[in-house]
């Protein structure tokens, strides 16, 4: 198997969902501690990177690193509230795609 090039290729699962009508939460479930260490590294994944990927202010992003579960959880305010006129992903189920396709460091 070739070396993983994106978070999605390294992770067991990358998903997103609503965290209430005004917030999105994304979860990275890593296969093992080595994969977790790679994506949980603040030099690799931090609010500045998430802000660039999603066009949201970095100071609104919350990140939770859970080493005992090999999980990184990221939350930020939705660009539009759930179910509003401009909402194109009512369950926030597609918000994880830019993060899943984010390239891994070399």
pLDDT tens for residues 46-70? 999 999 999 999 999 999 999 999 9
pLDDT value for 69: 98
* Sole residue written with tokens 């509003």: 84
CATH 3.30.70 fits 7-101, yes or no: no
- CA Rg value for the chain: 14
pTM, rounded to two decimals: 0.90
- Single out the residue of 59, 94, 60, 90 nearest to residue 77, CA to CA: 60
CB 84 within 8 A of CB 39: no
**DSSP secondary structure letter of residue 4:** P
pLDDT tens for residues 5-56? 999 999 999 999 999 899 999 999 999 999 999 999 999 999 999 999 999 9
Phi/psi for 24 (5° steps) reads: -115, 140
CB 61 within 8 A of CB 76: yes
Q: Where are the domains of the chain?
A: 7-101
């Amino acid at each position: 198997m070739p070396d993983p090039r994106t978070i999605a290729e390294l992770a067991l699962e990358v998903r997103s969902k609503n965290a209430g009508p005004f917030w999105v939460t994304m979860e990275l479930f890593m296969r093992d501690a080595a994969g977790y260490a790679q994506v949980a590294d603040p030099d690799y994944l931090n609010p500045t990177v998430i802000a660039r990927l999603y066009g949201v202010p970095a100071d609104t992003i919350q990140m939770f690193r859970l080493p005992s579960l090999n999980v990184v959880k990221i939350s930020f305010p939705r660009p539009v509230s759930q179910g509003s006129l401009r909402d194109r992903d009512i369950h926030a189920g597609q918000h994880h795609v830019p993060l899943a396709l984010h390239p891994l460091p070399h």
